[in-house]
């Protein structure tokens, strides 16, 4: 894992002091709210319905046990005993007091954490595949490049006043778990010349009001040119991105307006200019230095199938269910990737209590080389667990309510905070996730349905990723009443697609029926081995429109 050097430490410590000063001056009246607001946003501090909200950065979703324990400490000491893991692999606290935020930031700084650039018109947290460095078939560890981008983008003077927020995601695997195609910049690590890593760079993806899939603007960009090429994209955006209209200020609007080809041409022109860009060429020694932080842990040499694990699968049905959905294959024999479900049936997606965080920190330390990851689907991952330890890990997760065997299944939903918390929301989303989850609580039924990703947003800003849900649900306000519009066929992976709206919205009392109807329609139509998304791609939307809206 990356460790701060003295420069990183200085940056964060000075930032804490600077923000403390700004809070003091705000409280003393030397700064107005108009002056203070952009400053607090650059430190991830929002004002929501019931309180302030602090978004703490978790770079590319990677945490040590010490860092997870600090997140628990913050929840316990300054908040109401819990935090929420987000679709950008960060954590949000819903009840901090402004006067306490400097102390929170000071505490976080002791474990190399901060809330820098988690809001504001700047480059945000660079997110990455949560199985980085663990899954078989990875071309290169995306966290190496995410860390390089993080260092380059932190306090970048040219990119601190962008037209709008800017989000970058990186995957090193052909199967994209990081939703790169709906990011402002999405990076796929590919095999370059001489087996060195190279990058396919996509730009102009995004969700929100105007969802779009990103376009390839640079193919097989050489490793040493990564920053230079990204910088070229940023310069074109910073120069030509709209600043006159908040809703047209993202890079996706610019790419769409120019056309992908013209946009790519302008980027390549900028890239070819050299000049200051040449300074951004990454020296091989620097790449190697960062890479060394992400060296594989000291794996034991183990047999491919551990007998104790195999026995436990046969003896304990509940453990077997969990193993079926919550484990992923590890590249090293005798190890497994463990998914920690933060989607208990009827619970609040992505929330964890301080005691759960502490227990998970202990598990990471004891069983996963001190590492835990956050996924953009609001779950956690222990990346390197020996098969022989899986039964014990499962028992401990089960004891804290984090072993729901539902990863990728219908009850593993992405759900934004919605109108229960968020100032921007039009409708509640969490409660909708809960009633759907409860309706499909039957484990056998869930497993029969198979992979089905429901994503729920409480407003058009799409923080719940509803545009790329197999089933997407968007909360809308219809004359003061919360309504829910359904879309089908979205996907966030390498076959990314924006969902199709199926028809008029449903009220809260009808939404579960609507989801049931969609599921039943799928079950009736599916052919052997088809997941929901496969059936949808074959049949199209018509059968679902019929069953949902046929005149009763």
Partner 1 sequence: MAQHINKKARFHSLTANRLLDGEPVYLTRSHAWSENLHDAAIADGKDEGAELTQIAAQSVADRLVVNPYLFDVDVDAGRPRPISVREQIRATGPTVRRDLGKQAS
By the 8 A CB rule, do 210 and 254 touch? no
By the 8 A CB rule, do 79 and 97 touch? no
User: In the numeric block, which tokens belong to residue 366?
Assistant: 């004891």
Interacting residues of 230 by C-beta distance below 8 A, sequence separation 6+:
149, 152, 168, 185, 201
Nearer to partner 1, 54 or 217 (CB): 54
Site residues, partner 1 (CB under 8 A): 26-27, 29, 33, 47-52, 80, 95-99, 348, 419-421, 423, 425, 427-428, 430-431, 434, 480, 482
Nearer to partner 1, 264 or 474 (CB): 474
Q: Cβ of residue 441: shortest distance to partner 1, in angstroms?
A: 17
Q: Cβ of residue 496: shortest distance to partner 1, in angstroms?
A: 30
Own/partner long-range contacts of 37-44 (Cβ < 8 Å, ≥24 apart): 38/120, 41/119, 41/120, 42/116, 42/117, 42/119, 42/120, 42/122, 42/160, 43/15, 43/19, 43/101, 43/105, 43/115, 43/116, 43/118, 43/119, 44/115, 44/116, 44/117, 44/118, 44/119
Q: Return the SS3 of 66.
A: helix
| Distance in angstroms (rounded) separating the CA atoms of residues 323 and 8 | 39
Nearer to partner 1, 360 or 432 (CB): 432
Nearer to partner 1, 14 or 30 (CB): 30
Q: Cβ of residue 461: shortest distance to partner 1, in angstroms?
A: 14
Strand partners, 501: 487
Nearer to partner 1, 218 or 475 (CB): 475
**530 exposure class (CB count in 10 Å sphere: 0-12, 13-18, 19+):** middle
Q: Cβ of residue 201: shortest distance to partner 1, in angstroms?
A: 37
| Distance in angstroms (rounded) separating the CA atoms of residues 206 and 524 | 33
Nearer to partner 1, 36 or 319 (CB): 36
Q: Return the SS3 of 95.
A: coil
Question: CA angle at residue 23 from 18 to 26, to 5 degrees?
Answer: 125
| Distance in angstroms (rounded) separating the CA atoms of residues 475 and 347 | 19
Nearer to partner 1, 28 or 552 (CB): 28
Nearer to partner 1, 167 or 455 (CB): 455
Q: Cβ of residue 41: shortest distance to partner 1, in angstroms?
A: 13
Q: Cβ of residue 117: shortest distance to partner 1, in angstroms?
A: 21
Q: Cβ of residue 36: shortest distance to partner 1, in angstroms?
A: 9
Q: Cβ of residue 362: shortest distance to partner 1, in angstroms?
A: 26
């Amino acid at each position: 894992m990356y460790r701060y050097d003295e420069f990183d430490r200085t940056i964060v410590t000075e930032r804490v002091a600077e923000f403390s000063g700004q809070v003091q001056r705000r409280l003393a009246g030397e700064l107005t709210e108009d002056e203070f607001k952009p400053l607090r946003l650059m430190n991830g501090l929002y004002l929501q319905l019931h309180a302030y909200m602090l978004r703490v950065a978790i770079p590319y979703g990677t945490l040590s046990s010490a860092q997870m324990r600090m997140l628990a400490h913050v929840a316990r000491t300054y908040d109401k005993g819990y935090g929420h893991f987000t679709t950008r692999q960060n954590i949000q606290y819903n009840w901090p007091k402004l006067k306490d935020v400097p102390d929170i930031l000071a505490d976080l700084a002791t474990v190399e954490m901060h809330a820098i650039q988690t809001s504001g018109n700047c480059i945000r947290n660079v997110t990455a595949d949560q199985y980085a460095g663990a899954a078989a078939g990875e071309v290169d560890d995306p966290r190496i490049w995410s860390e390089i981008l993080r260092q380059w983008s932190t306090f970048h003077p040219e990119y601190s006043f962008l037209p709008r927020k800017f989000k970058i995601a990186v995957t090193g695997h052909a199967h994209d778990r990081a939703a790169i195609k709906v990011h402002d910049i999405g990076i796929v690590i590919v095999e370059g010349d001489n087996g060195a890593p190279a990058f396919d760079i996509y730009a102009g993806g995004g969700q929100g009001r105007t969802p779009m899939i990103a376009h390839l603007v640079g193919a097989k960009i050489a490793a040493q040119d990564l920053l230079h090429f990204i910088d070229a994209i940023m310069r074109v955006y910073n120069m030509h991105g709209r600043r006159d209209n908040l809703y047209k200020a993202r890079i996706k609007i610019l790419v769409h307006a120019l056309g992908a080809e013209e946009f790519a041409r302008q980027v390549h022109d900028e890239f070819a200019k050299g000049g200051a860009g040449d300074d951004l060429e990454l020296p091989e020694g620097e790449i190697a230095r960062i890479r060394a932080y992400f060296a594989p842990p000291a794996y034991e040499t183990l047999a491919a199938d551990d007998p104790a694990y195999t026995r436990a699968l046969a003896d304990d049905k509940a453990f077997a269910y969990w193993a079926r959905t919550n484990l992923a294959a590890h590249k090293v024999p005798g190890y497994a990737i463990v998914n920690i479900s933060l989607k208990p049936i009827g619970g609040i997606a992505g929330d964890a209590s301080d005691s759960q965080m502490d227990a998970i920190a202990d598990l990471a330390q004891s069983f996963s080389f001190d590492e835990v990851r956050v996924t953009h689907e609001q779950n956690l991952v222990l990346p390197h667990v020996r098969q022989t330890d899986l039964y014990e890990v499962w028992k401990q997760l089960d004891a804290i309510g984090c072993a729901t065997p539902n990863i990728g299944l219908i009850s593993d939903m992405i759900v934004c905070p919605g109108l229960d918390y968020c100032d921007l929301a039009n409708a509640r989303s969490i409660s909708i996730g809960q009633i759907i989850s409860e309706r499909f609580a039957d484990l056998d039924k869930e497993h029969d349905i198979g992979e089905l990703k429901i994503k729920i947003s409480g407003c058009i800003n799409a923080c719940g990723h509803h545009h790329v849900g197999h089933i997407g649900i968007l909360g809308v306000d219809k004359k003061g009443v919360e309504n829910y519009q359904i879309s089908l066929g979205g996907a966030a992976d390498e076959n990314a697609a924006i969902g199709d709206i199926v028809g008029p919205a449903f009220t809260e009392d009808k939404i579960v029926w609507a989801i049931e109807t969609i599921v039943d329609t799928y079950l009736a139509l599916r052919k052997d081995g088809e997941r929901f998304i496969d059936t949808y791609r074959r049949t199209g939307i018509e059968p679902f429109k019929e069953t949902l809206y046929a005149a009763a």
